[in-house]
Amino acid sequence: MKSAGGRRSSFRAASKFLIALTTPHKIEATKSAIRKGRKTIYEASFEHEGVFVKVDILNKGKKGWNIYEVKNSTKLDDVYIKDTALQYYVLKGAGIKLDRAYVVLLNKAYIKKGALEIKKLFISEDVTDRVLGQQKFVGEQIPKLKAMLAAKMPDIPLGKYCEKPYLCDFKGHCWKDLPEYSVISLRGKGIDKYKLYESGIVHLADVPAESLNKDQRLQLEAFLKKKKIIDKKAIREFISTLWYPLYFLDFETFESPIPIYDKARPTHKIPFQYSLHYIKRKGGKVYHSEYLARPGTDHRKELLKKLLAEIPEKACVLAYKKSVEKSALNLLAEQFPRFRSAIEKITDNLRDLMVPFQNRAFYHYKMKGAYSIKAVLPVIDPTLSYSELEIANGNMAMVEYARMNSSKDPAEIEEIRRSLIKYCTLDTLAMVRLLDKLQTMSK
């Protein structure tokens, strides 16, 4: 975590120092801080064998310096061990006497109550033994990586590593020549699509059907015949699970590594906005309501009370990928137990509009094996589009909400507010249209 989480560590020593210079001066500034007797240095910078590293927190103990690598995560990942091992290798090579190495993680059990308790917010995992076990590997890899950088760009085939453990910065370059409907567009498990690609099978049309599972064969068949598949019986079965009044619900949420509200944890996804389209009776008029938090407020109770006032106790509530809405509602029930009973009535009546698309009751070849609302909507109702909006996905909504909260410009705040409302409104309007089309298909 190269953010506020890293700075808000549990180091309270008076002698602490942040290296915040441009790269050419960072190493010398670090040496100077050590000479002056600084005990805690943030972003301490070192170089060895042509490798430059910055240590989130370098703290001097009785037996030597301790490395603290701070992460925006609650789980210890092997990637973090490798990251810390490289830092250890460089610092040791640069002549720094080291003692221990730690990975600092967020404590998912921490609940904010009043003032932030820094020592409880973070957990320091001692990874020294694992880091020492990686030193030989790190030393062997450095010359190999240098040789690779000095050589011409290698011809690397497409693979899972294009997206995991992190999205590669060069994916757009390497994937630009893939046809729109390629073997890589196959969804689901049980097939190594990258191996097929390496073997020369590039186009989806060339994939042998016998190597595919049921859903993949359906995806291939729909593409080859350029058709849509409609299972009326399955659609009718889904529709039979719904009733009126019918409320279409969508939340937008944000996640802060450092809890900013009481009763919140580091991993909590807190709803800041919702959109509700609703139909009181079958064939009735479609109504709309919404909520968007005002900047700089703890809005949670206000949002919750408005939502509970708007959704009748026995209403059917429909979401798309309901796990998001259910998780947000359960979180609010945890934070405001006085409303738990009313919230549970909503979650008990929550249904998922994604189900008929996930189960292939409806499938169109242009969905390319996906069933997100953004994959389904263009083929069901092309008159509605996310592409024309200022905010086109949940991540953008979260970023813009943060920008709205930090802005001091009323005009900018109002502009962001309008964009957020348009985006969230489209999510529930899209659900209304999708259900309407499913009802028509089922006849």
Tens-digit pLDDT profile for residues 234-259: 999 999 999 999 999 999 999 999 99
Strand partners, 335: none
Amino acid at 419: S
| pTM confidence score | 0.87
Q: Is 186 a residue whose pLDDT tops 50?
A: yes
Q: Is 279 a residue whose pLDDT tops 90?
A: yes
Q: What average pLDDT does this structure show over 378-405?
A: 95
Structure confidence at residue 427 (pLDDT): 97
Q: What average pLDDT does this structure show over 100-110?
A: 97
Parallel, antiparallel or unpaired: strands 16-18 and 40-48: parallel
Q: What average pLDDT does this structure show over 173-189?
A: 92
Proportion of the chain above pLDDT 90, given as a percent: 88
Q: What average pLDDT does this structure show over 22-33?
A: 86
Structure confidence at residue 143 (pLDDT): 96
Number of alpha carbons in the 13 Å side-chain half-sphere of residue 347: 17
CA angle, 288 as apex, 335 and 342 as ends, to 5°? Answer: 30
Domain covering 227-443 assigned CATH 3.30.300 in the classification: no
As a whole number of angstroms, the distance between CA 5 and CA 8 comes to 5
Q: Is 1 a residue whose pLDDT tops 70?
A: no
Confidence of residue 6 (pLDDT cuts 50, 70, 90): very low
Tens-digit pLDDT profile for residues 34-53: 999 999 999 999 999 999 99
Among 17-21, 29-33, 265-269, 385-389, which stretch is predicted with the lowest mean pLDDT? 17-21
Tens-digit pLDDT profile for residues 75-98: 999 999 999 999 999 999 999 999
Q: Is 389 a residue whose pLDDT tops 80?
A: yes
Tens-digit pLDDT profile for residues 127-159: 999 999 999 999 999 999 999 999 998 888 899
Domain boundaries, the chain: 4-143, 227-443
Q: Is 288 a residue whose pLDDT tops 60?
A: yes
